[in-house]
Structure 1
Amino acid sequence: MTIDFDLTVVGSINADITATTRRLPAAGETVGGGRLARSPGGKGANQAAAAARLGARTTMIGAVGSDASGAAMREALTRAGVGVDDVAVVEAETGTALIMIDGNGENQIAVCEGANARVRIDDIEFRAHETVLTQLEISLDLITELARRVKGQFVVNAAPALPLPAEVVDRADLIIVNETEYALLPQLKTAKAVAVTYGAKGSALLENGRQVAFAEALPRQPVSTVGAGDAFCAALTIALGSGLDPQTALGVANAVGAEAVMDSAAQPEFRRLDHYIAAADTSTTTENTP
């Protein structure tokens, strides 16, 4: 299957500063022996980079600071194949995420929004054939504006969990959350389409609160879970938007997320989405063979 898909991602761009330790510290505790890494991140940028590497024609709308980190984040997106003409350079610090990861890949993250507070869509003309994917690391006012202005498919990754304006829930063609976010946002129980990830258990698609598809996760021992949810969001958005049935689309997105947890970077390399689709088809055929 050849992917022919236009995606615009509106969201955050961060410089990630990651400390990896054997365990996460408790409140007031210092844990030594860590390893430090700096890398591109931000939920929006992670999703855009994943989408481009999976084969979608991807553009990013966001903002970075006029500092060295901002230049590096734009360059990282360009290397991934993402169009950055609508990534503004503003007089503010580039957004920064401080991340701690333990030996099991679990994480704690503190985000300093910086330039992400300055994302604007005033001069953007959205096209009817493009899908727009956004997250909650930019202002809710901007997401509400997107709900009013997007002409094509509108997908919201409701992370981090914040109560959504009713018009956003009503307008969104798909909302993607993890199980914790789903529990924190009861308004999603009546949304027309919600994808919920359950970590090592898999993922499900619900329509108006009723589960219509479920796919098991691929067993992995995670190196890092930081970019897995973002990879899942990109893959599921493209898979469903390309016409795959919900069951197959979830399985493909699970496979992409499983590959992401094996990489310490928030923006890993991926093969084209058709590779994961072919693998899912082969798995289904094998399982159904007597």
Structure 2
Amino acid sequence: MEQPLEQPQVTVVGSSNVDITALMDRLPAPGETVLADSYQLTPGGKGANQALAAALAGARTEFIGAVGQDPNAQIALEQLDAAGVQLGRVARVPENTGVAIIQVDAGAENCIAVVPGANASVDAAAVKAAGELHGILVLQGEIPASGIGAAIDAAAERVVLNLAPVIELERRYLLAANPLVANEHEAALILAQLDGADQPVDEPEEAIAAKLLAHGIASVVITLGANGCLVAEGGTVQQLPAVKVKAVDTTGAGDAFTGALAARLAAGDTLVQAAGFAGKFAALTVQGHGAQASYPRSVDNL
């Protein structure tokens, strides 16, 4: 008789894509065609990326999402499966598996277009049908807002909310984040949403983090790329420096950070400790091409 799986320490409810990545010297201007050097077809999607990162960072991890019944479904899930992520509650739906079309230039800058596909089916009804959610809950903005809300309602422990891309959420769901994880641009947009403003205000990241706390969010982590990250909680804002590396592709680095952060929180680290580890984990990923393919398979030296 098959033994039941141990309850996960981290549950990620989110998106799973196949990434089509074109590598080129420079990104095209609007209306311009640029020849690419090569392309890669690899697994991605913010939810799947974060689930893989959490597993590689040492947490028992479950991924809940949806893929299609097309050949891309196997590609989308293969690295999660290899890493031991629990996939029993990934739905197979009629829509095609989500796809991300990524362009990366020689300076590691990228631009990304996402076709949600099956991810659009991860709504409130699908999340409720999945049943109980165990461990720390990780969410992103690549599934419908109703699915995010239903997952937060069902959360058993703290919620790590990486609202990327920034979508409209009810205020109570934004305030459930502990922490809210966002880059500097996303943080400004989220603050504008909480303020009821039409446009984000151009303010220093420290001020944005403090204002997010003032709205009632328990903790905030703002990632700053090569400048590290800000950790805000308990009325204080602290900047953690970045690990200095030569980046070749930043695709999926933010997801690597969020997944590793959740794994260390599940292990009992403080938020500052978890963010420090996550920064080192993410720094390793930008030294290779692709999202999941670049994630470190060993964290013994971090």
Alignment of 1:1-290 (within 5 A): 6-119=9-122, 120-127=126-133, 130-186=135-191, 187=194, 188-189=212-213, 190=215, 191-207=217-233, 210-267=235-292, 268-273=294-299, 275-276=301-302
| 8 Å contact kept, 2:165–2:186 | yes
Shift, 1:241, TM fit: 3.2
Shift, 1:28, TM fit: 0.4
Match of 2:206 in 1: none
| 8 Å contact kept, 1:137–1:160 | yes
Shift, 1:67, TM fit: 0.5
SS of residue in 1 equivalent to 2:20? strand
- Name the amino acid aligned to 2:223: T
SS of residue in 2 equivalent to 1:86? coil
Deviates more, 1:143-152 or 1:72-81: 72-81
Shift, 1:248, TM fit: 2.5
> In structure 2, what is the Cα distance between the partners aligned to 1:5 and 1:147?
16
> In structure 2, what is the Cα distance between the partners aligned to 1:240 and 1:125?
23
Change (3 A) 1:137 1:33: closer
| 8 Å contact kept, 2:229–2:239 | yes
Shift, 1:273, TM fit: 4.6
Percent of pairs with identical residues: 40
| 8 Å contact kept, 1:101–1:108 | yes
- Name the amino acid aligned to 2:231: L
Shift, 1:95, TM fit: 0.2
> In structure 2, what is the Cα distance between the partners aligned to 1:211 and 1:96?
39
Shift, 1:167, TM fit: 1.3
Shift, 1:269, TM fit: 3.6
> In structure 1, what is the Cα distance between the partners aligned to 2:62 and 2:36?
39
Structure 1 portions without partners, runs of 5+: 277-290
CA deviation digits over 1:214-273, x for unaligned, max 9? 210011221111111001001112223322233322221110110010111211342455
- Name the amino acid aligned to 2:47: G
SS of residue in 2 equivalent to 1:185? helix
Match of 1:282 in 2: none
| 8 Å contact kept, 1:5–1:242 | no
| 8 Å contact kept, 2:229–2:242 | yes
Shift, 1:124, TM fit: 2.9
- Name the amino acid aligned to 2:184: E
TM-score (norm 1): 0.88
Aligned length: 271
Match of 2:197 in 1: none
CA deviation digits over 1:85-116, x for unaligned, max 9? 01111111110000000001110000000000
- Name the amino acid aligned to 1:222: A
Deviates more, 1:99-108 or 1:240-249: 240-249
> In structure 2, what is the Cα distance between the partners aligned to 1:78 and 1:212?
38
| 8 Å contact kept, 2:67–2:119 | yes
Match of 1:284 in 2: none
| 8 Å contact kept, 2:21–2:40 | yes
Shift, 1:32, TM fit: 1.3
TM-score (norm 2): 0.85
| 8 Å contact kept, 1:55–1:272 | no
| 8 Å contact kept, 1:193–1:206 | yes
Shift, 1:166, TM fit: 0.7
> In structure 1, what is the Cα distance between the partners aligned to 2:162 and 2:37?
31
SS of residue in 2 equivalent to 1:84? coil
| 8 Å contact kept, 2:98–2:117 | yes
SS of residue in 1 equivalent to 2:146? helix
